[in-house]
């Protein structure tokens, strides 16, 4: 779900790497500090003094989630089950059908509010996380290795790209 946003909204999307040299995983305390600082700088710029949605995911082969909102309390105490989406609607073999289960909470953004979750994302211990404004026009999707950001317009995306130009990918398509 979150990983597909860059394809659906290409004109408003930008990707930043979370470590210098496009290194994917932090291993030292200093590198974890860089990762959290980069995530939080962008998040603060997007959401300071705003209410946000925090969305986390689970996956299973059943339409109903295998986990309860309580299982997501480690990331956000007020998590509630929101919805489930078939992961690959084109899959016809019942043995391979799977679902993404979304859990959501709402809170006032503050610097460092989800550092434990961001660290788990950086370690690839969880995935599919999204932090969004209430209008869903600004979406921050952290992943192991960086973050994808969607903004309301290409002009706002370009401003953010300029602000953090040193964190951009060198890939010709921004990946």
At which residue do the structure tokens 């603060």 appear?
44
Domain ranges of the chain: 2-167
Question: What are the pLDDT digits (tens) for 158-173?
Answer: 999 999 999 998 876 7
- CA–CA separation, 46 and 149 (whole Å): 9
- State the DSSP code for 113: T
User: What is this structure's pTM?
Assistant: 0.88
Pick the residue with more confidence: 86 or 44? 44
Type and span of the H or E element at 149: strand 146-150
């Amino acid at each position: 779900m979150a990983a597909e946003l860059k394809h659906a909204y290409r004109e408003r999307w930008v990707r930043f790497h979370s470590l210098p040299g496009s290194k994917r995983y932090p291993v030292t305390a200093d590198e974890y500090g860089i990762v959290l600082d980069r995530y939080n700088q962008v998040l603060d710029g997007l959401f300071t003094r705003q209410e946000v949605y925090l969305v986390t995911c689970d996956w299973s082969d059943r339409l109903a989630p295998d986990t309860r909102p309580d299982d997501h309390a480690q990331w956000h105490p007020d998590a509630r089950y929101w919805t489930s989406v078939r992961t690959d609607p084109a899959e016809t073999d019942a043995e391979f059908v799977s679902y993404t289960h979304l859990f959501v909470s709402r809170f006032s953004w503050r610097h460092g509010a989800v550092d434990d979750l961001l660290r788990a994302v950086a370690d690839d211990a969880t995935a599919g996380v999204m932090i969004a404004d209430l209008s869903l026009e600004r979406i921050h999707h952290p992943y192991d290795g960086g973050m994808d950001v969607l903004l309301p317009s290409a002009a706002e995306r370009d401003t953010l790209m300029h602000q953090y130009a040193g964190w951009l990918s060198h890939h010709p398509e921004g990946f």
